Each structure stands twice: as structure tokens, then as C-alpha cells.
Amino acid sequence: MLPKTMKAVVLTAHGGLDKLVYRDDVPVPSCAAGEVLIDVTACGLNNTDVWVRQGAYGTDDDPQAVSTWRRGRSTLTFPHIQGADIVGRVVAVSRGVSDARIGERVIVDASIYNRDDDSLADIDYIGHGRDGGYAEYTAVPAENAHRVDCTYSDAELATFWCAYHTGEQMIERAAVKHGETVLITGASGGVGSAIIQLCRARGAIPYAVVSKGKEGFRIGIMAAKPRISFR
């Protein structure tokens, strides 16, 4: 039986780390139609989480203004549970979702597209427009929870979504093809690492630009072959 309350880290306002409050009395979310409830086993922290907490996105008129990820059209409300890079197991499903999904190990696509066409004008993400994974449980649309079968740990998988999603969008926009050479600047970060491996998966040839001292790590990444299956 699921508990009625859970532990979570709650963002109470824009600002410093003092605006993150650990609580053990947060209600376990209920699933709306078409959603699944995930027992969160790992959730990554990325720079977007930090900048949203700080309100560091600015505006077109004032780069120093306190503003969140969607800037002038924020969907962030307080108190709020951040965390987009979610991994866990499905423990409950709502109307319209097969009971067979209970028990699945899943990784979450945190994207909230808000429209049916290819435009990203109204895009949002789980952890911003709705509560995310800095909690014991989170509810997400069933279509955003992808069954995963691999040998990576949950903590390792929780480093994937933000970096690889960003890298994949960049590669798609550039229409990278097999045999092409790709120069990757800033290759020492999560997105850079992702682009290296995504290029290799396409048969493209990545060249990484990194700071002195990080070249050994980059060589290891370039030699590695991703072994992961999403279903």
C-alpha cells in the first residue's frame, strides 16, 4: 500500500540554497487520467535546476532581472518540487493506462510540449511546469515514462535526460549524417559528452575541444559505445 505522505525537497521561492526546504509531510501525488506514479530511485541535478532556483534567466530588457526558465511567461509556482532527470519504477497507474506497466523500470522524458506541431514555442518541462523528481514519488504522463533495459545503475541513468535531450536536438537541427566530421566545443560538460556519443552512434566523427587536463577523460568517452535500450 502506498503511503499518503512522502519526503521531498521543496523550492519555496527564488534565491539561495536556503530556499530549498526538506519536508517529510508532502502529500504523495495522485495520477490524473493517462498518468503513472513513479517511485523515484534517482534524480539528477543540472544547471537548469540551479538557474531556476536563482531566477537567473533575466528578461530581454533586463538580463539581471529575476526570471525563471520561461522568462516572461513563467509556469513556475511556489512551493514547487524541482528535478527533471528522473529514474524509478512505476508503482501505480491511472485510468487509461495498462496495469502491466506496474513494476517497470523507467526513465522520464521531462518534456511538456503543450501543442501537437513541431514548434517549441510553448515547451515546458517536468520539474518546472509541474512537480518533478526531488521527492520519493512523482506522477507523470504515461507516454513520458519510458521502460529502460540496461546495466546502468539508476544514478547513472539519472544523468542522461537533460544532457542527451539537448545534444540530440542540436544534432537533429544540424542534420548530422554518417561519415561527417563534427567539431564539439565545450566538450567537457554533460551535453558535450552526450554529443560525442550521439555522433558516434550515427557514424559521424567527433572532434572534441576541451580544457587542458580533461583530454584523457574525453578520450575515454569517445572510445565508449552507448549500450542502452529504451522501449
Ranges of each domain in the chain: 5-154, 161-226
Sign of the Cα pseudo-torsion (14, 19, 22, 25, in order): negative
Q: Note down pLDDT in tens along the chain; length 231 residues.
A: 899 999 999 999 999 999 999 999 999 999 999 999 999 999 999 889 999 999 998 888 888 888 888 766 778 999 999 999 999 999 999 999 999 999 999 999 999 987 777 666 778 999 999 999 999 999 999 999 999 999 999 999 999 999 999 999 999 999 999 999 999 998 888 899 899 999 999 999 999 898 887 766 544 444 444 443 434
pLDDT number for residue 156: 94
**What φ, ψ does residue 125 adopt, rounded to 5°?**
-150, 155
- Give the per-residue pLDDT at 72: 61
What per-residue confidence (pLDDT) applies to 218? Answer: 47
- Confirm or reject CATH 3.90.180.10 for domain 5-154, answering yes or no: yes
pLDDT of residue 71: 65
- Separation of alpha carbons 178 and 107, rounded Å: 28
CB 148 within 8 A of CB 227: no
Query: Rounded to whole angstroms, how far apart are CA atoms 209 and 185?
Result: 5
Amino acid at 177: K
Joined together, the cell numbers standing for residue 7 give: 519526503
Helix boundaries (H) for the chain: 47-54, 154-157, 161-174, 190-202, 215-223
Radius of gyration of the chain (CA): 19
CATH class of domain segment(s) 161-226: alpha beta
